[in-house]
Structure 1
């Protein structure tokens, strides 16, 4: 095959190029020709096709995502916001935390183990590239119906991939979600989150300043795996035959990644890194264009110097490969010997492949010929921006009108008891121990809360050198509800944030910042774009009200098979800080003779509820109201009560309502309770999913101080009863032994997945 050089491109302007096969539209290809003043070479076409893909350029979402900046609340804690590899927030005592969540959905359907594993690897490298030590991961997972055959194919591989990669890295998996719904059949969602720690004055950025500085590619060699993964798998409608795209799925090596982590940390400590970028989606194409665009504007690269696993790779393939465990650094010439010595110490291959220039051009050569000569910003920052048409779904009004009010409801004690057990044993509410037992939740010894707690929590001391003088900790939670967002994407996105915010507060930590992963169908469908626009608007408005900024995140479009899109599924991660981890609040009922207290107001809100979904297979009506001011007041009560030592245990109320919160609280400590419901309708009291509520237990002498705190904050405080005994007893209605609750709760997933 003839090498397609810039010289040849000038000589053959009419040569047909496979831009459509690479996911580019006619007008996008023509725009590239206008930018260059000629047709692109094959290598240039490869760069633009991946950098302008939906996954990399956010071309359909940019116009909406800007709200996260324009509506952002003022936050002195925000050190690095959107636009970098991950957001960074000040957590006090000179320390900063960086965290982000991203999707690896389509690869995880095509090749579940590697798709999920490399999702973890990619998000870990995003955190590394900020100058931080990764300290924990989380995952938010969605699958089709639990008993559907394809779920039984996909889920075990995804769990093995997440656990295997994270465990090999020595990173605790401290939380997340596992949700089942038929809408995700053929389109599972695998959203991975990582959090890291660093000194707040040691942040690294993806920039290439300083003409003459060297460009170093280090880590694993480049192979044929993952070629075009971003554009082939994540930026196009997902069809049944997509399993034939296995070569586009990356292959991970967690042992190399572990070496890369330690190598990077020593490089940072030695202060020999000017700028750094991980190689994730779009590989060398992304790293070179983004570094150059954010630096002094130019870079010269010799692609022959890229270390290869497959020597037959052509330049276009090298540029599009998404092989894992690779980083690119900008290093001053005088620091190259020290840089290479550190890489050699950790057995991490490193090669100088180019240097920074001030020409404003990214120039690449192959066998001495120029094959790329482009303005890097046009690929990295100036891709197409679409204002897609928005149309409210045709059936939205009818869906909202078809609420659950006419569904048969349990009325007797026996019927209420059976409803509780049915929900408790349903796949979405059953114990996820079958999944989480495959993850190491406590490796490194700094985990103080993990699944099934509402939020994961880590102490800072002993994680990083010099942190032993602080009792500070961080808490994280991820949440989302696709059924709520289907009914009302604006409110559904706010409820996702509200639940994650509440879960962090329930642990005793103060919510500080937000990341998100927005999973939707095709942006070319106006109804999907309406859902997306409403969700972004809702989330931005909620962040402003709650005073928590969005630090970054990910948009995942084209989550549909044919014309069948998933429910709109905004997943929100919230990071919080606690001054003293010894003041954390454990989940559930931790002892007998404690007062059981319900915080917040209960209304008849059953649209999109687990009761309607599990018992009746129904979806319709409106989701619970998102009362953000109530959420803020509740969080203030929870964090203040935790700091004052008033709370012995706590649990948020969400899916399944009070009934599930009571059952899970009993199971958490193996302690029963006797309670009296506060309202007139036992069914609503037990199964409503009203937001801004939490269940806590306190020592008898702490009840009055808690009630006074609630009164000052305007939070309803209902004393329900006491802990103790061996059963969950609802006065005058029913009782269930704790051991029966445990049997029902724990048998579901092992029964399905073996």
Structure 2
């Protein structure tokens, strides 16, 4: 990439001169779509980001939210006040590493994990959980499988090595991702009111200290690389733009960061991600309305003869930039040395411009002294660098509404196709590679509707009364079938689905972050669909009383194969009293009944049934009051009489019920038509209960409650629809759902 004529003119007018080559490259990266959100920022005002729980909202490395007390965690978010929240804080953020994961799936995905973990650290938090949402082309294609295997290996390697559990996420396969997979990773961290910091410089005269790995030439131009379509030769030509991770250095950096926080040595912090040192340091001081003077040759380097542009823009991993009081610099050096990390005092915070200088090394490699003649390579207002990019005003066209054309296949074929689809199939092959129990907080791990972690800090006597603590529930994902069929309603459904996942384990929503993925915004149809998913996600989260406290935008996910579907990944956290939750498996007990809580819809648009069997339809109607609907599900899941609970989503009731069957327990179900069997309207819960009257009493008139059939003590799924019957044993279901493990073993 290079600066456009209009950007060049704007920069020249502001500086009163031609930019230096280093300035031009810095502006190119900081004003890229990846960093400046030039096409998306005009749309992001649709999100509501405030609430009594929100301590730090959008704009920092990660958001900070307060955790409710155990008692308040049992109430819906709309009924809580500031007094209901404690001084225990969670940080929450999400990032994409899409282009790098196409070029180099292992390192691209691994460094995506490293980056979001450092975002967590820069807020003064210790990372406690990861959630990954992954999107690939059709599973039957060799290249899709190659990317899939490499990405999962990269995530598992990095997360396992640093000791942060990957507890939740999603995997989808869709032909739209063949030329451009998506890798979105969210991280939750734990801190408190006395410990958190921000990425806002505080005081002129404070030192800027770089701690972590040495700077090399990897990742050069990564921000600009992520802001253009992938070319056919991307896997070879763009390899230098992909960073190389070192998880063992990251682990030492995590512990060093904790030591720095314990000693109260950090004034502000920012991790080095997109645009490297130039991005982190300029954004840090710009947020504080300040400037900086950075001496680039002071940066500790792993390669000889690095030039100023390389030092400033390399995206080498495992590095943090700290603002430190001058009297604390020696102590920071000592701690960095203790953890075997490099440490450089690279400059100071000032009241002037953002200035970078460079002193050439003398013959023989020794740097000249500070009094020697220096070259000024950057001298620009920090706020202009960080926030001066003009926004794009792009045309958009409205998405079309599909017609109703249903497939003509037997019920047996339909069930087989949907149950064995790689998208609805078991993801055990993925999450068994992740260490999801490290940290000993995980109470409910992957495979459930949402993960649950124990926040024992909020239990009065955690060793004896764990139930008095707060359980943290985590879910993440999107559904490209939904959002490609109906971008606005599909995005609304994504939000309701994530909230329903939390409700299925008895949790109420607390906050959400989004990763908005789209194709080339210069194409009106692509930008129109992207705008629709933004509005849909924003409207649904507002209706759920869930503030969207941060996020990420990734556009130009376009290739020779075409644009990706609009993909609004949402990661959502919720809280509940205690750490226990009903499982998804049926019990086989003789004293239970099977109920579906929530309202369906007579539409199949976006359903896996149509994807696998052909056809189209309008998207299902969604709950008029999603907050009440989700609260009803959480109430039911929390009843002592609830034996099992499972959210209805991908694949509809057919897949939900099949997933609940075990070797000792099954179901006999009769449904009126194919729509009832396969529709994917979100906001519904299948419940096995010992007290159906308690379920109906708990929801009242809020949502309907119906019985689709009976639970049995035989490991078998029997489904009757309009005169056709399909019966599958637990073994047959498990075999069909193990398609990923079977094909990749």
**Which shows bigger deviation, 100-109 or 724-733?**
724-733
Deviation sequence 1:186-211 (CA, Å, 0-9, x none): 10111111111111332210021211
Equivalent of 2:497 in 496, 499, 518? 499
Give the secondary-structure state (helix, strand or coil) at the position aligned to 1:239: coil
Q: Cα distance 1:263–1:466, how it changes in 2: closer, same or farther (>3 A)?
A: farther
SS of 2:47's partner is: helix
The offset of 1:464, in angstroms, is 12
Are the aligned partners of 1:211 and 1:355 in contact in 2 as well (CA < 8 Å)? yes
Q: Where does residue 237 of structure 1 map in the other structure?
A: 229
Instruction: Give the conservation status (yes or no) of the 8 Å contact 2:293–2:347.
Output: yes
CA distance in 2, matches of 1:382, 1:494: 32
Aligned residue among 673, 696, 705 for 1:707: 696
The answer as to 2:384 corresponding to 1:392 is no
CA distance in 2, matches of 1:363, 1:179: 44
The partner residue of 2:438 within 435, 443, 446 is: 443
In the TM superposition, what is the alpha-carbon distance from 1:145 to its structure 2 partner? 0.8
Residue in structure 1 matching 2:281, options 284, 288, 301? 288
Match of 1:535 among 533, 536, 542: 533
State whether residues 596 and 723 of structure 1, in contact with CA within 8 Å, keep that contact through their aligned partners in structure 2.
Answer: no
Matches within 5 A, 1:272-671: 272-367=265-360, 368-392=374-398, 396-397=400-401, 400-401=402-403, 403-405=404-406, 407-410=407-410, 416-461=411-456, 471-562=469-560, 564-582=562-580, 584-593=581-590, 594-616=592-614, 618=615, 620-629=616-625, 631-667=626-662, 670-671=663-664
Are the aligned partners of 2:587 and 2:665 in contact in 1 as well (CA < 8 Å)? Answer: no
Greater shift in the superposed pair: 366-375 or 41-50: 366-375
Residue 418 of structure 1 and its aligned partner are, at CA, apart by 4.0
Distance 1:591 1:75 in 2: 43
Aligned-residue offset at 1:245: 0.8
Deviation at 1:719, TM superposition (A): 6.1
Cα deviation for residue 409 of structure 1 reads: 4.4
Distance 1:197 1:210, change over 3 A: same
CA drift of 1:60 comes to 0.7
Q: Quick one: distance in 2 between partners of 1:369 and 1:360?
A: 16
The residue that corresponds to 2:727 in the other structure is: 735
Distance (Å, rounded) in 2 between the aligned partners of 1:635 and 1:457: 17
Q: Which residue matches 2:56?
A: 80
CA distance in 2, matches of 1:674, 1:295: 61
Deviation string, structure 1 residues 582-610 (Cα, Å, up to 9, x no partner): 3x222232442322111112222211211
Runs of 4+ in 1 over 6 A off after TM superposition: 462-469
Deviations 1:502-535 (A, max 9, x none): 1011111111111111111001111111111111
Q: Is the 8 A contact 1:46 1:319 kept in 2?
A: no
Gapped runs of 5+ residues in structure 2?
Answer: 69-85, 361-373
Q: Secondary structure at the match of 2:604?
A: coil
Q: CA deviation at 1:444?
A: 2.0
TM superposition shift of 1:659: 0.8
- Would the aligned equivalents of 2:100 and 2:108 in 1 still touch at CA under 8 Å? yes
**Partner in structure 2 of residue 718 of structure 1:** 707
Answer yes or no: is the 8 Å Cα contact 1:500–1:573 preserved in 2: yes
| Contact residue 115 and residue 249 of structure 1 kept, 8 A | yes
Q: Which residue of structure 2 lines up, in the alignment, with residue 125 of structure 1?
A: 118
Contact 1:404 / 1:612 at 8 angstroms: preserved in 2?
Answer: no
Q: Determine the C-alpha separation between the residues in 1 that align with 2:126 and 2:458.
A: 9
Q: Is the 8 A contact 2:503 2:637 kept in 1?
A: no
Between the aligned partners of 1:452 and 1:136, the Cα distance in structure 2 is 15
Q: Is the 8 A contact 2:481 2:608 kept in 1?
A: no
Structure 1 residue runs without a partner (length 5+) = 1-21, 411-415
User: Contact (CA 8 Å) 1:506, 1:638: kept in 2 or not?
Assistant: yes
The answer on whether the counterparts of 1:519 and 1:557 sit within 8 Å (CA) in structure 2 is yes
Change (3 A) 1:194 1:540: same
Provide the rounded CA distance (Å) in 2 between the counterparts of 1:106 and 1:592: 50
Residue of 93, 100, 106 corresponding to 1:113: 106
1:233-263 Cα shifts (integer Å, max 9, x gaps): x101111111121011000000000011111
Q: Following the alignment from structure 1 to structure 2, what is the Cα–Cα distance between the partners of residues 215 and 523?
A: 37
Q: 2:176 and 2:736 mapped to 1: Cα distance?
A: 26
- Who is 2:10 aligned against? 31
CA contact (8 A) 1:306 1:353 kept: yes
The answer as to whether partners of 2:104 and 2:239 remain within 8 angstroms in 1 is yes
Q: Which position in structure 2 is the counterpart of 1:685? A: 676
**TM-score (norm. length: structure 2):** 0.92
Q: Give the TM-score normalised by the residue count of structure 1.
A: 0.91
Deviation at 1:475, TM superposition (A): 0.8
Report how far residue 466 of structure 1 moved.
11
What SS does the aligned partner of 2:377 have?
strand
Which residue pairs with 2:217 in the alignment?
Answer: 224
2: CA distance, partners of 1:445 / 1:336: 35
What is the aligned partner in structure 1 of residue 184 from structure 2?
191
Residue matched to 1:48: 27
Equivalent residue of 2:660, what SS?
A: helix
Question: In 2, distance between residues paired with 1:200 and 1:188?
Answer: 38
Note closer, same or farther for the CA distance 1:192–1:715 as it changes in structure 2 (3 Å cut). Answer: same
8 Å CA contact 2:215, 2:299 repeated in 1: yes
Residues 362 and 295 (structure 1 numbering): CA distance in 2 closer, same or farther, change over 3 Å? farther
Residue 664 of structure 1: SS of its match in structure 2? helix
1:614 offset after TM fit, Å?
A: 1.1
Measured after TM superposition, the shift of residue 712 of structure 1 is 4.4
1:593-638: per-residue Cα shift (whole Å, max 9, x none)?
A: 322111112222211211111122x4x3322223251x32232123
Q: Distance in 2 between matches of 1:467 and 1:33?
A: 61
The C-alpha deviation readout for 1:661-717, integer Å capped at 9, x for no partner, is: 0000114xx44223343x532x22211222221111112xx2211111122434434
SS of the aligned residue for 1:576 comes to: strand
Residue 66 of structure 1 is aligned with which of 31, 34, 45?
45
RMSD: 2.0
Q: Aligned pairs, how many? A: 707
Give the whole-Å Cα distance in 2 for the aligned partners of 1:563 and 1:614. Answer: 21
Q: Which residue is 1:3 aligned to? A: none
Q: Deviations over 1:107-149 (max 9, x none)?
A: 0000010000001111111111111100111111111111112
Say if 2:505 and 2:582, in contact at 8 Å, map to a contact too: yes
- Secondary structure of the equivalent of 1:443? coil
1:104 equivalent among 74, 97, 100? 97
Which residue of the partner structure matches residue 5 of structure 1? none
Query: Compared with structure 1, are the counterparts of its residues 37 and 636 closer, same or farther at alpha carbon in structure 2 (3 Å cutoff)?
Result: same
Aligned to 2:238, what secondary structure does the other structure show? helix
Cα pair 2:605 2:617 within 8 Å, conserved: yes
Relative distance call for 1:198 and 1:384 in structure 2 (3 A) is: same
How far is 1:467 from its partner?
A: 7.6
State how far apart, in whole Å, the 2-side matches of 1:648 and 1:273 are. Answer: 48
The equivalent residue for 2:741 is: 750
In structure 2, the CA distance between the partners of 1:334 and 1:482, relative to structure 1 (3 Å rule), is same
